[in-house]
């Protein structure tokens, strides 16, 4: 990570000038802008939990009580700032600084800021005499980022496309790395104070780092955050099943992916997530298409924290998992399969039951026979269906056939 400064001027409107004139004291404003999938949920939870302690130290983390409670319960939030269509980001930040004059500094955290920061920097002349802005940006290894972004599309947006199609649809470009490179260039040119972190090197301590950067290292709620996992990625089995469910049901039930993924994350927060594997040919295209962005980002990272680029990409294979790891993963996946079945039932019937309904069992059988799941997943789904329909002769035949095909594969 490395801190830099930069400077740029633009013309502003009368409304912004009026807000600026009402400011009586220049205040330090830390903007944690993400980007997405770089530990923002955990960072925001830790800031919410510590908001009272931060306040005692003269640092404001302005947040509504309901959102504070939600974040403190390790639930997913969007931080403590949201876009307002009726006013510009510059106007909003000037107003926030005005209402927090009794503090020496303010911390705002939101992934939405990532996409709006260029506008803010271009309007520097409107706020530079009233707010001392420091931008905190986290970046991530591109292969991890694309995998996480793909999973997010499955989890929250009902996507059902394979990973290869997802990459082709984006022309193999990572929009987050493209935007990060743009922001870094603008910050450098305009002499904006900033800190850039490689999340892939600091996934375990990024929240503590944020507290350190805002001058409140001693306020970090270590006890409450110990072992906390928020908005984890899906396991391979979960991703496979949810992708198929999206294909079958999303058009009719557009909330289905969020409902199921939330249940998985809430009930099994510590399950071992698995990064999606991008095949070698497509991975080479990813690094080729994004190399310029990665090079720009690396110019502002310490030598020990560089992102992988086209020239540093290695052919090292992923180490094989031990029998103990494989057994644990299998046990976790069985729990996930049952949890998906139960959640699917509640989602489709709107009421919890101990036994799956006939409609839900039919849906699980349809899912198992859709041709979009692996043979092992097909067997697990059919076992779940048979458990809830033990007298089903046809179901028994389908299950036996699937078991035989699995053993011969």
Q: What's the pLDDT tens digit per position in 242-289? A: 998 998 888 888 888 999 998 898 888 888 778 899 999 999 999 999
Question: Considering the domain boundaries, does residue 179 fall inside one?
Answer: yes
For the chain, give the secondary structure using H, E and C.
CEEECCCCCCCCCHHHHHHHHCCCCCEEEEEECCCCCCCHHHHHHHHHHCHHHHHHCCEECCCCHHHHHHHHCCCCCCCCCCCCCCCCHHHHHHHHHHHCCCCCEEEEECCHHHHHHHHHHHCHHHHCCCEEEEEEEEECCHHHHHHHHHHHHHHHHCCCCCHHHHHHHCCCCCHHHHHHHHHHHHHHHCCCEEEEEEHHHCCCCHHHHHHHHCCCHHHCCHHHHCCCCCCCCCCHHHHHHHHHHHHHHCCCCCCHHHHHHHHHHHHCCCCCCCCCCCCHHHHHHHHHHHHHHHHHHHCCCCHHHCCCCCCCCCCCCCCCCCHHHHHHHHHHHHHHHHHHHHHHHHHHHCCCCCCCCHHHHHHHHHHHCCCCCCHHHHHHHHHHHHHHCCCCHHHHHHHHHHHHHHHHC
Query: What confidence score (pLDDT) does residue 312 get?
Result: 94
Last residue of some domain: 156, 191, 225? 225
Note whether residue 314 is domain-resident.
no
Place 9 in a pLDDT band, splitting at 50, 70 and 90.
Answer: very low
305 domain residue, yes or no:
no
Residues spanned by the domain of 334: 236-274+319-408
* Residue closest to 102 by CA, chosen among 189, 210, 6, 25: 25
Domain count, the chain: 2
pLDDT classification of 309: cutoffs 50, 70, 90 = very high
Is the model more confident about 408 or about 189? 189
Residue 124: inside a domain: yes
In tens, the pLDDT along 123-170 reads 999 999 999 999 999 999 999 999 999 999 999 999 999 999 999 999
Which pLDDT band, with edges at 50, 70 and 90, does 181 fall under? very high
Q: Are residues 174 and 254 in the same domain?
A: no
Confidence class for position 120, pLDDT limits 50, 70, 90: very high
Whether residue 331 sits in one domain with residue 220: no
Residue range 55-63: average pLDDT?
97
Please list, in sequence order, all residues whose beta carbon lies within 8 angstroms of the beta carbon of residue 88, skipping any fewer than 6 positions away. 16, 119, 123
Is pLDDT of 21 > 60? no
Q: How confident is the model at residue 2 (pLDDT cuts 50, 70, 90)?
A: low
Task: Clarify whether residues 76 and 186 are in a common domain.
Answer: yes
Final residue of a structural domain among 225, 254, 286: 225
Residue 196 belongs to a domain: yes
Q: Give the predicted TM-score (pTM) of the model.
A: 0.82
In a domain, 293, yes or no: no
On average, the pLDDT of the chain sits at 88
pLDDT of residue 29: 98
Together in a domain, 121 and 259: no
What is the rounded distance in angstroms from the CA atom of residue 144 to the CA atom of residue 146? Answer: 6
Answer yes or no: do 171 and 263 share one domain.
Answer: no
Residues 216 and 246 grouped into a single domain:
no
pLDDT digits (tens, 9 = 90+) for 195-238: 999 999 999 999 999 999 999 999 999 999 988 888 888 998 89
Cβ count near 372 (within 10 Å): 18
Same domain, 196 and 257: no
In the listed set 195, 225, 255, which residue is the last one of a domain according to the structure?
Answer: 225
Q: Are residue 114 and residue 240 in the same domain, yes or no?
A: no
Q: Is residue 279 part of a domain?
A: no
Tell me, what's the pLDDT at 4? 53
In a domain, 248, yes or no: yes
Same domain (yes/no): 244, 221: no
Interval 39-66 mean pLDDT? 95
Per-residue pLDDT at 158: 93
pLDDT digits (tens, 9 = 90+) for 316-336: 766 788 888 888 888 888 888
Q: In this predicted model, which residue has the larger pLDDT, 24 or 75?
A: 75
30 with 121, same domain: the answer is yes
- Same domain for 247 and 152: no
**CATH code, 56:** 3.40.50
Same domain, 379 and 399: yes
Q: Encode pLDDT of 61-98 as tens digits.
A: 999 998 888 887 888 788 999 998 899 999 999 999 99
């Amino acid at each position: 990570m490395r801190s830099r400064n930069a400077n740029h001027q633009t013309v502003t409107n009368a409304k912004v000038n009026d807000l600026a004139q009402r400011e009586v004291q220049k205040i330090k404003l830390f903007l944690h802008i993400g980007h997405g999938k770089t530990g923002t949920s955990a960072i925001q939870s830790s800031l919410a939990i510590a908001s009272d302690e931060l306040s005692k130290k003269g640092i404001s983390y302005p947040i509504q009580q309901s959102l504070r409670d939600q974040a403190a319960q390790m639930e997913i939030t969007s931080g403590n700032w949201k876009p307002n269509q009726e006013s510009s980001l510059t106007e909003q930040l000037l107003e926030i600084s005005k209402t927090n004059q009794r503090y020496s500094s303010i911390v705002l955290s939101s992934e939405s800021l990532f996409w709006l920061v260029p506008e803010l920097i271009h309007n520097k002349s409107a706020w530079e005499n009233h707010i001392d802005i420091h931008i905190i940006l986290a970046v991530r290894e591109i292969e991890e980022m694309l995998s996480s972004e793909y999973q997010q599309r499955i989890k929250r947006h009902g996507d059902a496309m394979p990973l290869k199609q997802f990459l082709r649809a984006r022309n193999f470009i990572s929009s987050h790395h493209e935007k990060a490179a743009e922001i870094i260039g603008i910050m450098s040119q305009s002499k904006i104070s900033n800190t850039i972190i490689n999340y892939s090197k600091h996934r375990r301590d990024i929240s503590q780092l944020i507290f350190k950067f805002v001058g409140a290292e001693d306020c970090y709620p270590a006890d409450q955050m110990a072992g906390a996992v928020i908005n984890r990625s899906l396991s391979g089995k979960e991703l496979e099943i949810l992708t198929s469910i999206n294909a079958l049901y999303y058009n009719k039930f557009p909330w289905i992916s969020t409902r199921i993924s939330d249940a998985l994350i809430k009930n099994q927060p510590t399950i071992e997530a698995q990064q999606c594997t991008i095949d070698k040919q497509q991975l080479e295209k990813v690094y080729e298409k994004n190399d310029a962005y990665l090079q720009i980002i690396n110019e502002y990272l310490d030598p020990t924290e560089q992102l992988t680029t086209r020239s540093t990409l290695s052919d090292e294979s992923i180490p094989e998992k031990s029998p103990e790891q494989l057994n644990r993963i299998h046990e976790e996946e069985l729990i996930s399969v049952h949890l998906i079945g139960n959640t699917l039932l509640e989602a489709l019937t709107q009421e919890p039951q101990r036994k799956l309904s006939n409609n839900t069992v039919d849906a699980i059988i349809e899912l198992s026979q859709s041709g979009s799941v692996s043979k092992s997943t097909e067997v697990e789904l059919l076992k779940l269906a048979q458990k809830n329909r033990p007298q089903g002769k046809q179901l028994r035949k389908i299950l036996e056939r699937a078991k035989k095909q699995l053993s011969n594969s």
